[in-house]
Chains A and B, each alone.
Chain A
Amino acid sequence: MAIDSIKDKAAIVGIGVVDFSTDIGRTEWYTACQAIKLAAEEAGVNIDDIDGMVKSVDDGPDPTYTGKGLGIDNLLYHSENHWGTSAMMNAVHAVAGGLCNYCVYYQTAHRASGPEKCISDFLVAREFRDDSLDMVRYDYFSPFGLIGEPGYVAMMYRRYMHETGIKPEQLGWVPIVASENAARNTNAIFFDKSITIDDYMQSKLIADPIRELDCAPKVDGSIAIVITTPERAKALKQEPVIINSVASGYALEGQNYTSYTRDVITDLPEMENMAKELYRVGGMGPKDIKVAMLDDTFAPYVPMQLEALGFCGKGEAPAFIEGGDKIRVGGQLPVNPDGGEIGQGRFITTRIVEAVRQIRGTSTNQVANTDTVLVASGAGGPADGMICRKE
């Protein structure tokens, strides 16, 4: 068990979103600074008062560059976490623990137009000289043509179909509802109108049984989020969104998207462990959650998360998503009312932005009376999550 002292001790006070694009035409350094400037302005925080910076290790220039661009000369805290939205934990721990006062969590990734990382040489070097577990992909998968994340997920999903009996006509409702929500979201660039089950069934089986529409498309984007204490938030411009709890989850024999050696490969033990901790620290349960922001990088993870997070019983998820009514706005548990990553592109922190908008009541697809939102990330690997609430 982790410390409980972070409960309700941090708040999101500002968000900055650079318009998404498939060719943003700028460097990641540029849009990282741009997003942080937007977030600080929205929050009413002077950039000179930002003294903490966190990010995922994969996305965007590190604080040396970002801070240099922004002219920050007093960074009390900076750190990087791995994938997902796990850097949110760093921000909450830093602010709740008094390590810094105004922490910015930024994610900058130009995956559609190609990376322009300040430090790309370092990343490439790390990828190919490391002898860590992830090298299994190059060692044991690549020679057989098992390459790329859609294929990794497809290997698990074929087995999931076999064990649960889920049909494409059921899974299809994840991208269908995503397209409906994205069509309403002016910030989402991928669906002008919603798709039908026929569209889904005709979608190319790129890595059978994974279809093109099951995968979040690549996108260029940049998002920044300002976190401080609820006390400091009182003097700022926005209604604060209180972070009720944050947690991470690990499990034995885990490997990003490819935990094929476990006895059971068709559940999300990391997510289950994360959820237990998240609910325990926050003093909440699945029934207290009004909106779920789930990891839909690949559609099969949505039904799996519904079960892992306790929103439905084991084996009930295929029926839960079928027809879409339960997961639409107005349903039992609205999932990703912003269109998720399938609708907006592969960009994890969109989930935090939408959580903030839902709590503030300013979403383009608002769920009535939203006072609690759960954010989950890292499906298919180390998981992390957050519950946030209205003050």
Chain B
Amino acid sequence: MSVEYNADQKIPHPAMWGVLYKSSTPFWDGVKEKRVMLQRCKSCGYWLNPPRPMCPKCRSQESEWVAAKGTGKIYSWVTFNESPHSAFKTPYEAVLVELDEGPRIVSNVVGINSDELEIGMPVEVTFEDVAEDLTLPKFKKVG
């Protein structure tokens, strides 16, 4: 089911640590523009997911960021019945989505009940403003 938050608690996200996350900044900049950005090796096209400084296949250090289509399938999920962080109301799901391009990313679902979730379910990205300063890419049923 969709995640509900405790409004008085900060959702943990990179910017709040107060440090510069050099490798993921293009992803979070992309989210602000409602895009899911992925890093890819410029030399051989291998997906660098999560982002990293060198391609493990061809050892090139030249990479580029490209926007994913935003469609994929549920690959796995977890239902948290005990919250590991005060910002998240239980129960809620974290899902692993396999994007149509191949890379898998962790996210949440919107408008899908726990008992509807299944591995292989087609989903598409939607962007949810979860706090004044935070938008997250989440996934809903296709169509």
Same complex origin of A and B: yes
Is B63 part of the binding interface, using a Cβ–Cβ cutoff of 8 Å? no
Contact bitstring B34-70, A, C-beta under 8 A = 1, else 0: 0000000000000101101000100000000000000
Task: Classify chain B's interface size.
Answer: 35 or more
- Across the interface, do A252 and B56 meet the contact criterion of CB distance under 8 Å? yes
Residue pair A146, B106 in contact (C-beta under 8 Å) = yes
Interface centre among A142, A146, A265 (most CB of B within 10 A): A146
- Interface pair A147/B50, CB less than 8 Å apart: no
The segment from A60-68, A205-213, A233-241, A366-374 that touches chain B is A205-213
Q: By the criterion CB–CB under 8 Å, are A140 and B105 in contact?
A: yes
A198 at the interface (CB under 8 A from B): no
- Give the distance in Å from the alpha carbon of A209 to the alpha carbon of B105 in the complex: 19
- Hey, what's the 0/1 contact readout for A130-148 against B, CB within 8 Å counting as 1? 0101011011111111111
The answer, among A136, A155, A265, for a CB contact under 8 Å with B78, is: A155
In the complex, the answer to whether A139 meets B94 with C-beta atoms within 8 Å is no
Q: Which residues of A contact B71 (CB under 8 A)?
A: none
Judge whether A142 and B12 touch: CB under 8 Å. yes
Residues of A with C-beta under 8 A to B49: 261
| Contact status A158-B76, CB under 8 Å | yes
CA distance A255 to B49 in the complex (A): 12
Is B96 touching A145 in the complex (CB atoms < 8 A)? no
| A138 lies within 8 A of B104 (CB) | no
Q: How far is the CB of B4 from chain A (nearest CB, A)?
A: 11
Kindly list chain B residues whose C-beta atoms are within 8 Å of the C-beta of A136.
24, 50
Q: Which residue of B lies closest to A158 (CB)?
A: B76
Is B88 within 8 A of A145, CB to CB? yes
The size bracket of the interface on A is 35 or more
- Give complex CA distance A337, B53 in Å: 44
Is B113 located at the chain interface by the 8 A CB criterion? no
Determine the residue in chain A with the shortest Cβ distance to B91.
A208
A187 to chain B, nearest CB (A): 29
Q: Are A144 and B94 in contact (CB under 8 A)?
A: yes
* Alpha-carbon distance between A131 and B81 when the two chains are bound, in angstroms: 31
Tell me if A128 counts as interface (CB < 8 A to partner B).
yes
List of B residues within 8 angstroms of A210 by Cβ: 78
A260 to B50, CA, bound (A): 10
* A128: nearest chain-B partner, CB-CB: B17
Give the residue among A129, A135, A143, A210 with the most B Cβ atoms within 10 A: A143
Q: Say whether B103 contacts A131, CB under 8 Å.
A: no
- What 10 pairs across the A-B complex have the smallest Cβ distances? A208-B79, A148-B84, A146-B94, A147-B84, A142-B12, A159-B76, A139-B24, A154-B78, A206-B82, A145-B88
